[in-house]
Amino acid sequence: MELFVFLVAGAACIIGALGVVLNSNPVHAALSLVGTLFGIAVLFIAQEANFLAAVQVIVYAGAIVVLFLFVLMLLGVDRSEDLSIEPLGAGQRIAAVIVGLAVLALPLMAFRSTEGEATGAIAGPGDANLLRAEVADVAQLGESIFTTYLFAFEVTSVLLVIAVVGAVVLARKVKRADYVEDPLVAAAEAADAP
């Protein structure tokens, strides 16, 4: 059963990821991204991270991709771009694929050399963050975040406030140049000038 789930969700992930890279239309790329995100949410459930799967669908597929689509539609940049005439030479493309294969080969070699063990350190019964089967993962996650990672959690809230302020500052239209062109202001300035 887990094999079936893994194969279907993994195929959805990889097809979606290839769709993001290969689609010439940014809207189609964003929709392919939903496939990948959903496949990863299914894989989270397969690994008993149910809360994170829900958060994945809500935050990523529900918020981030919608934000992408909003920007695409609002700016009207949803035209297709031809990948073959993108300002990128074939040499750079081959180099990018070589870099990607190197990035892929490195962890694969590591998995091969460690033979399926992460670090070999299994959390013991005395560990406060031990994943217990009888307790819901939300409860354990909350306990961990609000005790072990409390400081990181608080810093996260500061980060979000900074991000919101930064987005407002960036998205604001600069009006200062327009004021000079304003006829009333121009008339007032002309009246002031002798």
Partner 1 sequence: MIAVAEVTPVWYLVLGSILFSIGAVGLLVRRNPLVMFMCIELMLNAVTLTFVTFSRMLRDVDGQAVVVFVLVVAAAEVVVGLGIIVALLRKQPSATADDVNVLKG
Q: Six-digit token pair at 83?
A: 């990948």
Distance in angstroms (rounded) separating the CA atoms of residues 42 and 52: 10
Nearer to partner 1, 118 or 193 (CB): 118
CB of 51 to partner 1, least distance (A): 8
Nearer to partner 1, 100 or 185 (CB): 100
How many residues lie near partner 1 (CB under 8 A)? Answer: 85
User: CA angle 191-193-194, nearest 5°?
Assistant: 100
CB of 81 to partner 1, least distance (A): 6
The stretch near partner 1 (CB under 8 A) out of 29-37, 176-184, 186-194 is 29-37
Interface positions, 147-186, toward partner 1 (CB under 8 A): 148-149, 152, 156, 159-160, 162-164, 166-167, 169-171
Tell which one of 8, 145, 185, 186 touches partner 1 (CB under 8 A): 145
Q: Six-digit token pair at 152?
A: 């990181």
Distance in angstroms (rounded) separating the CA atoms of residues 130 and 122: 9
Nearer to partner 1, 110 or 190 (CB): 110
54 touches partner 1 (CB under 8 A)? no
131 touches partner 1 (CB under 8 A)? yes
| Residue 30 contacts residue 72 (beta carbons within 8 Å) | yes
136 touches partner 1 (CB under 8 A)? no
DSSP secondary-structure letter at 118? S
Q: Minimal CA–CA distance to 42: which of 21, 1, 13, 65?
A: 13
Nearer to partner 1, 84 or 193 (CB): 84
Find where tokens 């000079």 sit. 180
Q: Minimal CA–CA distance to 100: which of 187, 188, 189, 18?
A: 18
66 touches partner 1 (CB under 8 A)? no
Interface positions, 1-20, toward partner 1 (CB under 8 A): 2-3, 6, 10, 13-14, 17-18, 20
Distance in angstroms (rounded) separating the CA atoms of residues 142 and 132: 14
